[in-house]
């Protein structure tokens, strides 16, 4: 099986890493070759760290890196069995990609999207054969997070849905089947929960440190909500929050004012060196 990954940002490069580690020849596509090469260097670096930790043989690491080829042309994904799109969360961008992809891949190629906030049915609506489309929502960072949500769109074919589920298993993940509803499963629960946590900071006069300690030691969370939001990024969370609120109109889905202020101030978390904490 050959896998294509469109978009080699944080999510896409993680998915490409999973694919080459699982033994699949993988084509990674980025709009600029420099960005693609940067992603490959990052994947090689992460795999080298696994060798240093003793969890991966040097030969296996070299073979995995060699399985990844890079391109800027969508036409180079023509012979892929599955293409996983991990581009920017914008419906127009994804529509354009899916239309071009359908024109270059085989009739039996599965087109998967890693969207977390958009409707898979909407993304697939531009396809001549929407039954070939499915959601494969990985979590960040993809190589470390065990879950992948397999999302059945309105017209996803049964065999496509099951093939995506099996691919999730082969990539070493725990897949769960779900329907194409806003937020799917995890974000539908987690986003309003994290928003509640942020509101508690102001309403109960609690510090981020105290809230994180409370949820870790009182609720058994592996990471506190403020730490988690700093890892995800205020920009990513607010974007997903707004998308859920727009669809469901539930007040808990709307991003809290504090997070919106942090976003406006550029305090996005780990990636900018400051969020709820300084890094």
Cα dihedral 172, 166, 31, 79, rounded to 10, equals: 130
**3-state DSSP call for residue 86?**
coil
Cα(183)–Cα(244) distance, integer angstroms? 7
User: Taking Cα atoms as reference points, which of 255, 275, 160, 124 lies closest to residue 212?
Assistant: 275
Crossing angle (nearest 10°) for helices 186-203 and 234-248: 110
CB half-sphere exposure, 10, CA atoms < 13 A: 12
User: Taking Cα atoms as reference points, which of 74, 62, 69 lies closest to residue 25?
Assistant: 69
Active site residues: 116, 137, 149, 187
């Amino acid at each position: 099986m050959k896998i294509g990954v469109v978009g080699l940002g944080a999510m896409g490069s993680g998915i490409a890493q999973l694919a080459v580690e699982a033994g699949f020849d993988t084509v990674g596509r980025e709009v600029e070759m420099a960005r693609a090469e940067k992603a490959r260097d990052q994947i090689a670096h992460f795999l080298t760290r696994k060798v240093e930790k003793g969890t991966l043989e040097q030969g296996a690491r070299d073979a995995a890196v060699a399985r990844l080829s890079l391109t800027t042309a969508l036409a180079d994904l023509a012979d892929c069995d599955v293409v996983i799109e991990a581009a920017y969360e914008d419906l127009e961008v994804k529509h354009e990609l899916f239309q071009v992809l359908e024109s270059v891949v085989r009739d039996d190629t599965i087109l998967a999207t890693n969207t977390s906030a958009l409707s898979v049915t909407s993304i697939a609506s531009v396809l001549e054969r929407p039954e070939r489309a499915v959601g494969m929502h990985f979590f960040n960072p993809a190589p470390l997070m065990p879950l992948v949500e397999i999302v059945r769109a309105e017209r996803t074919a049964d065999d496509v849905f099951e093939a995506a589920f099996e691919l999730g298993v082969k990539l070493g993940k725990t897949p769960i089947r779900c329907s194409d509803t806003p937020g799917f499963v995890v974000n539908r629960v987690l986003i309003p929960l994290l928003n509640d946590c942020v509101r508690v900071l102001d309403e109960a006069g609690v510090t981020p440190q105290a809230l994180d300690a409370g949820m870790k030691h009182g609720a058994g969370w592996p990471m506190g909500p403020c730490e988690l939001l700093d890892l995800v990024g205020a920009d990513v969370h607010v974007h997903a929050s707004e998308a859920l609120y727009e669809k469901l109109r539930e007040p808990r889905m709307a991003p809290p004012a504090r997070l919106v202020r942090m976003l406006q101030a550029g305090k996005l978390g780990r990636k900018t060196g400051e969020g709820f904490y300084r890094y």
